[in-house]
Amino acid sequence: MAYRGHNTAHGFDAGPPPPNSGFNIPQYPGMPGYIQPPAAVYQPTMPYMSMPGVYPMTNPFTTHPSMAPLTDHGFPGVHLKNHLGGVGVPPGYAYIFPSEHTIIHILKTPHKPWQTGLTIHPIDPSTHTKFYVPVSMNVREFLKQVGCTDGDDKKNVVHEVVEKGNGHWAQGLRVNMDDKDKMKKSLGDFGWNKVRNGNIRNGGRPVVWLWREKGE
């Protein structure tokens, strides 16, 4: 009949399609169906364990992971602030380092280290921050660079402390920014020189241990 398909096995077109018609080639058997996978979720690619580390298959349509924000952790002197307003040596420049340095460790505790009952182990890296400091640096500048920035100079105080053993400490030299005469001296004038490097075996002396007062 006109405009009406007819199948000799099923009659008019109300039955199933002809055999082997489930694929783009009717004579080829249809492939089994699969469940559609869920939509992909973006996950940052981890670098391979190689030297140097690389990011494989980085998606060009996404932004590269950004750096962690710069912070001085309370010690302004750990960053070199350049004349362009940025941090670090500008491109094209080289930095000339002082020839002599001393090693200074600053305790993080908010309490006086020499107090009875307080134990601070020097081998625990979480208890202090380590610095490599030029021996020729002015004491006043050094205090500012390690966070003694209170507007009242009398509150900017640093104590040198000495290890007694077993995590206990003794109070030593007290340096106050209000002492104008001491502020004119260099670190080397206080005995904080290149020999204070902790290399006892090769003729060195113990490193310098300091503690900052916090607005007391």
Residue 147 pLDDT grade (very low, low, confident, very high; cuts 50, 70, 90): very high
Look at residue 74 in the predicted model and tell me its pLDDT.
Answer: 80
Q: Which among 210, 196, 216 has a CA at the least distance from the CA of 113?
A: 210
CATH of region 98-212: 3.10.20.90
Look at residue 33 in the predicted model and tell me its pLDDT.
Answer: 58
The answer, yes or no, to whether residue 30 has pLDDT greater than 80, is no
- Give the amino acid at 199: N
Which residues lie below 8 Å from residue 79, measured CB to CB, with a gap of 6+? Answer: 70, 72, 87, 88
pTM for the predicted model, two decimal places = 0.66
Residue 216 pLDDT grade (very low, low, confident, very high; cuts 50, 70, 90): very low
Provide the CA 77 distance to its chain's centre, in angstroms. Answer: 16
- Give the amino acid at 144: K
The answer, yes or no, to whether residue 168 has pLDDT greater than 70, is yes
Reading phi first (left if > 0) and then psi (alpha if -120 to 50, else beta), residue 165 is in left
